[in-house]
Amino acid sequence: MLFYLTEIYAALKSVPSADVQRVVREMIESVGLTEKVHVASGALSGGMKRKLSVGIALIGDSKIVFLVS
């Protein structure tokens, strides 16, 4: 479930369709969500949701990401 959600964001951020799955896998690994890849985003803890938000922000080679608490 989480994997499909991040695939949608990658497509919205103009990641080439041939690269979407690779980019999403790399993002999930980089933010430490590999064990949660088949979990619905609503079932994640608060900290895991923040990790997911950061990962989504970084998809598509974002040049600047503002982290506001």
In a domain? residue 50: yes
pLDDT tens profile 10-67:
999 999 999 999 999 999 999 999 999 999 999 999 999 999 999 999 998 888 989 8
What pLDDT score does 61 carry? 85
In a domain? residue 44: yes
pTM for the full predicted model = 0.86
As for how many domains the chain has, the answer is 1
pLDDT band at 69 (very low <50, low <70, confident <90, very high): confident
In a domain? residue 28: yes
In a domain? residue 66: no
**For residues 3-26, b (16+ Cβ closer than 10 Å) or e, as one string?**
eeebbebbeebebeeeebeebbee
- Name the residue range of residue 27's domain: 2-58
In a domain? residue 69: no
Residue 68, pLDDT > 90, answer no
In a domain? residue 52: yes
